[in-house]
Amino acid sequence: MSNQKFVTDELNQLQKEIIAKNPLDVLQFCANYFNTKLELQRSQLWPQQSKAKAAGINLFANIDNVDVHVHGSSGNMTTNGRQPSFKSPFGDNDPHSLQHSHADERQEKKPSLFKGGFEVGSDGPAPSTGTNDPLAAAPAPTHSGANEPASSKAPTKIPVAFNANRRVSVSAEALNPGKFKSDSWRPPINNLSASQKEDLAKTLSSNFLFQQLDSSSKKTVIEALTKKTFVKNDEIIRQGDEGDFFYIVESGTVDFFVNGSKVNSSSEGASFGELALMYNSPRAATVIAASDNVTCWALDRLTFRRILLEGTFNRRLMYEDFLKDVKVLKSLTNQERSKLADALSTEIYHKGDKIVTQGDVGENFYFIERGECDVIKEGEGVVSKLGKGDYFGEVALLNDLPRQATVQAVDTVVVATLGKSGFTRLLGPAVQVLKSQDPTK
């Protein structure tokens, strides 16, 4: 199998896993996915080690099968021994692979995306970390034949299992939503005026990250925001840096640059910086203050992740409990119910509001969480009433028909809504139950 086909197949399989499991932390999920595959591969190869050795093949490089010769006092070292007969599934950047040290001699040093120098396997100079640091980069090999100082010894070879069972995300806070209620963390609270809170609430309502938060979580976000001011040409965030804050622009203009080229501008009401906080990835762009005075509201990373995770976790628990009481969904498994809970959105309607209107195109399916609704048909008036646990909107989606009736809120109504695309995909066997109860048949 060619390297290109191998990479394509692996990425396609990973994409299927991400779509199926919809993880909150995508980067950590990917790291765990590949670590598990590597562990499985090693567990399959390990029992074959004795047979491979008998055939003169070293499946796992270690100090016992590497012949090291030290020439004089120069500290220059050469290795004699058979290379492993296969490459790491992670390519040439595996620091445990013998090919790695030789490949570096032929490669030019590439600029790092990170400001601190996180060049894995780089042969360039590295900060002094002590000769026993297993992560320290080896000094660049010299070919002049001149004697080198005795202190320029190559670092100790990293053991094969050095990084076993360790988390790959080193910058992310480990957050367990199940323990949130028992810990001592409290969000920061800043004194904001009523008008400031109102303006910030409008801005957050248009940001996809905060649209699904309940009113209490949104209030926590707003009260945790801190005001920051910048003057023209101030660098607010830098491409490649670790994400520390999410920003909302209150006044002024900011410019966005990628690799030194301006790509966009934003002003009052815009927000930026959320992706680096969500996925613990480097900043994708540099943001510069473009006007004389720029004022932003900032939310720190821990508060950002904590509120979003807690909000999502609580919403899932709430929907799972609610869905257990919906009769039409009794046929769903717990896993199917959890997937459905993650896909639902909350909408609130007040007395007299029309949730769906007869004759309109149907795009959503609804469950009533709280409140009462009237079902009204033209020429007939109110034909039925709906309450907690009831549902509506399925006829238009099942039969691709216009809405068959108007559903109007009698008091304050809270509904959980599911889009057309997820209706068949997530309801599974419940769709057949809905079809059997279709009033148009």
Q: Tell me the domain boundaries of the chain.
A: 1-170, 194-306, 325-436
Element (H, E) at 11: helix 3-21
Q: Report yes or no: 122 and 130 within 8 Å, Cβ to Cβ.
A: no
Q: What is the mean pLDDT of the chain?
A: 70
Q: What is the pLDDT of residue 377?
A: 93
Q: Looking at the predicted structure, is the pLDDT value of residue 33 above 70?
A: yes
Q: What is the pLDDT of residue 190?
A: 74
Q: Looking at the predicted structure, is the pLDDT value of residue 317 above 70?
A: yes
Q: What does CATH list as the number for 194-306?
A: 2.60.120.10
Q: Looking at the predicted structure, is the pLDDT value of residue 3 above 70?
A: no
Beta strands in 73-206 (DSSP E): 77-80
CB atoms within 10 A of CB 106: 6
Tens-place pLDDT, residues 78-128: 444 444 444 334 444 444 444 444 444 444 444 444 344 444 444 444 444
> Is 394 labelled a binding residue?
yes
Fold assignment, 325-436: Jelly Rolls (2.60.120)
**Close Cβ partners of 366 (under 8 Å, ≥ 6 residues apart):** 355, 356, 391, 392, 393, 407, 415, 416, 417, 418
Mean pLDDT of 421-433: 70
Confidence of residue 425 (pLDDT cuts 50, 70, 90): confident
Complete DSSP assignment for 265-281: EE-TT-EE-HHHHHH-P
Q: What is the pLDDT of residue 101?
A: 43
- Phi and psi for 301 in degrees, rounded to 5? -65, -45
**Close Cβ partners of 37 (under 8 Å, ≥ 6 residues apart):** 89
Give the C-alpha separation, 55 to 82, whole Å: 12
More confident residue, 328 or 348: 348
Tens-place pLDDT, residues 206-256: 776 777 677 777 888 888 888 899 999 999 999 988 888 889 898 999 999
Tens-place pLDDT, residues 157-172: 333 333 333 333 334 4
Q: Looking at the predicted structure, is the pLDDT value of residue 286 above 80?
A: yes
Q: If we measure between CA atoms, which residue out of 80, 95, 86 comes closest to residue 59?
A: 86
Tens-place pLDDT, residues 369-414: 889 999 999 999 999 999 988 888 887 777 777 888 999 999 999 9
Tens-place pLDDT, residues 354-363: 999 999 888 8
Q: Looking at the predicted structure, is the pLDDT value of residue 40 above 60?
A: yes
Number of H helices and number of E strands within the chain? 12, 18
- Cα angle vertex 25, ends 35, 247, to 5°? 140
Give the C-alpha separation, 241 to 281, whole Å: 9
Confidence of residue 28 (pLDDT cuts 50, 70, 90): confident
Q: What is the pLDDT of residue 11?
A: 84
Q: Report yes or no: 239 and 286 within 8 Å, Cβ to Cβ.
A: yes
Q: What percent of the chain has pLDDT over 90?
A: 17
| Lowest-pLDDT choice from 3-7, 140-144, 407-411 | 140-144
Tell me whether residue 30 is exposed, middle or buried, using C-beta atoms within 10 angstroms of its C-beta: 0 to 12, 13 to 18, 19 or more: middle
Q: Looking at the predicted structure, is the pLDDT value of residue 147 above 50?
A: no
Q: Report yes or no: 390 and 343 within 8 Å, Cβ to Cβ.
A: no
Q: What is the pLDDT of residue 255?
A: 95
Q: What is the pLDDT of residue 19?
A: 80
Query: Hey, CA dihedral for 319, 324, 325, 327, is it positive or negative?
Result: positive
> Is 274 labelled a binding residue?
yes
> Is the fold of 194-306 the same as that of 325-436?
yes
Q: What is the pLDDT of residue 440?
A: 56
Q: What is the pLDDT of residue 155?
A: 34
Q: Report yes or no: 319 and 341 within 8 Å, Cβ to Cβ.
A: yes
Mean pLDDT of 171-196: 62
